[in-house]
Structure 1
Amino acid sequence: MRIPLFVLRLTTFGALFCPQWTRADPNDWVNPRYVLATKAGDPTTASAQQGIISNAAKTAKGGPWMVTTSKDAPPSNNLHDYLSWAPYHWPNCNWCPKGSKMFVESSEQDQSNAEVSPVDHGSDLIDHLDPDLAGAGALQNAMEFHPGMEHDLLKRTSVTDELDWSLGLGNWTDDFVGQNDGLDAALPPVSIADGIPVLAPPPSSATASTQTTDSEPSSSSVEESNSTSETTTPTGAYLHPMTNKKQNPCTPSPTKTLSPSATWTSCDYVPRDGQVNPDVRTLNGASDINAVSQSVLYNAIAYALTRQSTYSSNAALFLERFFFDKATFMNPNVNYGQVVRGPGTQTGSYMGIVDLRGMVKVSNAVMILRGIKSPDWTAAKDSAMVSWAKSYIKWLQTSDLGVHAQGAKNNHGTFYYSQLAAIQLLSGDQKGAATSLHTYFTGPYMEQIVASGEQPLEAVRTRPFHYRCFNIEAMLTNAKLGDQLGMNYWTFKTKYGATIQTAINYVMSLNPGKEDGSEAYPHVAAAAAAYGDPQKKYINYLRSKSSSYTSQSFWYYDQPHAFDATPSTSPLHNRGDLDVAGEDPLPSSGASAVQNAENCPPVFGDSDSIELDVGISVTCDILEPYYPKTM
């Protein structure tokens, strides 16, 4: 029996979206001076303004939010500690599936050593799925009780028929909360290789795939062909195969049924890049920080536009409950962000810091409330928020996880500096914010965009269009933060002579395929506002892609007068009163900026691999084709 798509959606995904869930904006920064100077009902942005006001009211219905309401305690057993699980990690218990004959005597074993068909694995359970079961928990628990079920679901699904089971899972991001609400975006092309669903490598002029740690063995590859669905297997991106004892011996389950909590500590977890484990949604930490950050920004802007006290009081209340109310505050650390579950001590990973990228919106909201002198945002509340921010800044700059994130070369590093600089602005440390931005633009940014506009470290992921847009999102935020400080990073070039505009132009030239093309729209609007659009290239792109772009929040955020130091207003400079020490000149785009023909790209430094996500790394041979060589 094939499970209908609508049943899977109802039983699997129904509980993953809260009733008041509203699609979140990309991470962004809106200059408070612009917000305070905006005239309500301005014809250019009136529709977008109304959308923000409407979303302020809608999102507020879900608040207030607080980490202490989590039903699952972090390893510290302190509910004030933020907790999330690594989204791309799945249990690999290797227990025998229900009804398996893997433990028959060798005399009965098929001498051809053929694969035991997975179609029977857990079939009785699948045939009796109750469509009224409450969402992700039911199906996830079923898979844990009957290992092999997830493989069965995929095996039963026609690869040419949308890959039903994976439909929603592949669309949630690294930011797995609130960025993509569509359930119609499937994973990258999939083929069946030796009975295993295999993700295709990201589309590119270069052959690319991802590598993982030794925690999961690599699978055999199938030669890529444009005429077939066969693809090269990215190591770690396939689902666990159910084979016979000689090929892949399994062991009996320790109990007839295994509770989710037992799975978390008993089973090894392995990475599958781009495939979000649905049970990460059972934790409320990531969804709550996303929700509170988005709602407080909407409500702060709505108050500035309308002067209606409801919006101001909403923002102040939500900030208080989440950050500094004695009963419900979040501890200023991410020690248990994106925990990789499994046997042994469970600690967070530095990748978990990206979960709090919404701190940019939080800082933005606070500065708007300050600027407009909201009576609800009292001096006492502001002081408490600043105290929290300073503690979090210290954690970001000195903890092992924070220091590790500082060195991340891909989007994780970009987002690290976004939230660090924004929180420094909130705390009143403008010099610190300027230094953080300078460190990013003269550090990780230098290797992130090549001359074509391609972003190699994002292009090798299983969802490359998303990851390119995701990193641009953080790069634009950094440029906007710098812009507020009078620092023009819009024209700042990488080692390869590229700017943020180059990266946006490149993304515009791509066909997103089954990925969500709308992720590029806010970036295109930002490019038009920051760089100018005399040929109407950007506005025509938006018009061709979306009939409602002028009603989106980004249209309000991304207007030319929202920026202070764009290419059209000033040359590259730093404000004298900020005086960032050690200012480096723009690097040339000559031979010194590119790799030696016989060596790895400079981005590797002394290492032979670069970690892109928890347990997911890329090696020189995969990344090298994306970078130019010396002549």
Structure 2
Amino acid sequence: MRPTFFHCTAVLSVICAAAAKVSFTAYANDFVDPDYILAGAFTNNTEQAQATITAWASSTAIGGPWTVMNKTITPPSGDKHDYMSWAPYWWPDCSGVGNTTALTPEQIWVTCPYVSRDGQFNPDVRLVDDVGAFQDMSEAVFYNTLAWSFATDASAKSTFESNVVSFLQTWFLQSDTGMNPNLNYAQMQRGPDGQIGTHTGVLDLKAMAKVTTAVLILRKGNSTLWTSDLDTQLISWTNEYITWLETAKIAVEESVAPNNHGTFYYNQLAALKMLVNDSAGAKNATNTYFDTLFLGQISADGDQPLEAVRTRPYHYHAYNLAAMITNARIETYVDPTSTAWNKTSGNGTTIQNALDFAMTLNASASGESAYVEELYPNVAAVASVYGDPTGKYLAFLNAGEPAFMGEAYILWNQPFALNDTSGLVTNAVTSASGTKATSTSKSTSTSKSTTTSAAYSIYVGAVGPVLTCISALLVGGLTTLVY
């Protein structure tokens, strides 16, 4: 019998503890310590986060696998294997081209000059959606790998693992579907002078940090499907792409971009260096960032002036913060003695100071209410590193998103909110109703939460209807944090 909406809702609320977290949220960027994930010593307050990750693994996989070959418009090179995207904030101005009849879209793309309108998204850029396909692939790879790492049911574990390997092979490695290792046609501005990529297009692949997280977990977790041959192939592809990233004109231009573009560039480069087993290269990349661009990014009061001048300042403050945090995470992973989190800008301010200032911003005042959740993962990240002795970070999240303990990011932003029992699967319904469950007893660490394991067993036992429910309820519920 086909599950009704009621059945779907009931099953998901019990299995996924996600009555308050049914929609998927794409966090701007992150790198997660694979050793922490594989150790599995998660505190009990992360149970809901684990269940969310399991649900998101299934929902994000539905559209896969993805490939650059699916686009209907061919890059100027004539090779669809070349990644291609159009600059999102560029619009055609056909007022001076002298046409006497209406131009077709194809004529507009090459004939009319394009002009920048910062923050105004041109909807036709998604006619070429390699950027969307890459983001979808990176999210699916990331969450399916995390779910694989702690799944206790053999069938579920196999499904997650198969998904990841299929998605990576299709995007990067297979001769008929793989992407060429360059971004020569990323964020083309279009028009007669815009038939080549621009440095801003390097940002399109920022989520290589998430892909790298997944690959490292597969390696260290001894995945049987991610073979040494596949790993060698991906390393070869990545080395070619790193060469492009370090030498191509537009890539070098992006490396010195003083705002979030430069910050994300080093997310990508450092992560890729780790993927090819070059820890020294990864450390050099993050050092370069902190010794150059970072120095000018945070003012004495914690503001980010280069993001504040944009048309969506709340979004860009949170966006660059996510990239700063990712650089710090990568550096401390490759060098545990690193002081990245305590490095200061030229004004003596840290990542924590930047977060504290961003928390004072009013998203509604700049018409950005839709972006308010972008800051929340950064709050949890800062609290997990610097601590939260006064409880201000916990209070901020409780005020903004009472069910935040069900967010996936809670799993890897620990220790944080250890006394908050709303993260327990058994308290999920209470949390979903808006009543916050609290406790003064400290959660204990376990290799695998008994409650979570039980939830996974129920989940797998009803895998058919669950996947159907997830498909029905979660697809289309995507909240994408766009740039």
Q: TM-score, normalised on structure 1? A: 0.60
What is the distance in 1 between the residues matched to 2:31 and 2:223? 20
Structure 1 residues 346-382: Cα deviation after superposition (integer angstroms, max 9, x where no partner)? 1100110000001111111000111111111011110
Structure 1 alignment gaps of length 5 or more: 1-19, 95-249, 562-613, 615-631
The answer for the alignment partner of 1:591 in structure 2 is none
SS at match of 1:270: strand
Q: How do residues 509-548 of structure 1 correspond to structure 2 at under 5 angstroms?
A: 509-513=360-364, 514-515=367-368, 516-548=371-403
What is the distance in 1 between the residues matched to 2:268 and 2:23? 23
Preserved CA contact (<8 Å) 1:350 1:401: yes
Alignment length, in residue pairs? 386
Q: Which has the higher helix share?
A: 2
SS at match of 1:90: strand
Preserved CA contact (<8 Å) 2:27 2:374: no
The answer for the alignment partner of 2:147 in structure 1 is 302
Q: How do residues 148-547 of structure 1 correspond to structure 2 at under 5 angstroms?
A: 253-255=99-101, 257-307=102-152, 308-344=157-193, 346-485=195-334, 486=336, 487-513=338-364, 514-515=367-368, 516-547=371-402
Question: Runs (4+) of structure 1 moved beyond 3 Å?
Answer: 20-23, 250-254
**Percent of paired sites with the same residue:** 43
SS at match of 2:186: coil
Preserved CA contact (<8 Å) 2:380 2:410: yes
What is the distance in 1 between the residues matched to 2:124 and 2:97? 24
Preserved CA contact (<8 Å) 2:271 2:282: yes
Structure 1 residues 434-464: Cα deviation after superposition (integer angstroms, max 9, x where no partner)? 0011000000000000110001111000111
SS at match of 2:191: coil
Structure 1 residues 402-430: Cα deviation after superposition (integer angstroms, max 9, x where no partner)? 11111111111000000000000000000
The answer for the alignment partner of 1:50 in structure 2 is 51
What is the distance in 2 between the residues matched to 1:74 and 1:253? 25
The answer for the alignment partner of 1:169 in structure 2 is none
Preserved CA contact (<8 Å) 1:39 1:305: no
Preserved CA contact (<8 Å) 2:97 2:112: no
What is the distance in 2 between the residues matched to 1:29 and 1:72? 33
Does residue 80 of the first structure (1) align with residue 85 of the second (2)? no
Preserved CA contact (<8 Å) 2:97 2:111: no
Give the counterpart letter for 1:26 in structure 2: A
SS at match of 2:91: strand
Structure 2 alignment gaps of length 5 or more: 1-21, 417-482
Give the counterpart letter for 2:345 in structure 1: T
Structure 1 residues 238-275: Cα deviation after superposition (integer angstroms, max 9, x where no partner)? xxxxxxxxxxxx776432x3221111011111000000
SS at match of 2:287: helix
The answer for the alignment partner of 2:15 in structure 1 is none
What is the distance in 1 between the residues matched to 2:403 and 2:23? 20
Structure 1 residue 345: Cα displacement:
5.8
What is the distance in 1 between the residues matched to 2:193 and 2:26? 35
Preserved CA contact (<8 Å) 1:84 1:339: yes
What is the distance in 2 between the residues matched to 1:325 and 1:66? 10
Go from structure 1 to structure 2 and tell me whether the alpha carbon gap of 1:494 and 1:375 turns closer, same or farther (over 3 Å shift).
Answer: same
RMSD: 1.7
Q: How do residues 563-602 of structure 1 correspond to structure 2 at under 5 angstroms?
A: none
Preserved CA contact (<8 Å) 2:260 2:320: yes
What is the distance in 1 between the residues matched to 2:123 and 2:285? 35
The answer for the alignment partner of 1:558 in structure 2 is 413
What is the distance in 1 between the residues matched to 2:139 and 2:117? 29
The answer for the alignment partner of 1:35 in structure 2 is 37
Structure 1 residues 82-120: Cα deviation after superposition (integer angstroms, max 9, x where no partner)? 0000100001112xxxxxxxxxxxxxxxxxxxxxxxxxx
What is the distance in 2 between the residues matched to 1:501 and 1:345? 40
Give the counterpart letter for 1:47 in structure 2: Q
Give the counterpart letter for 1:341 in structure 2: R
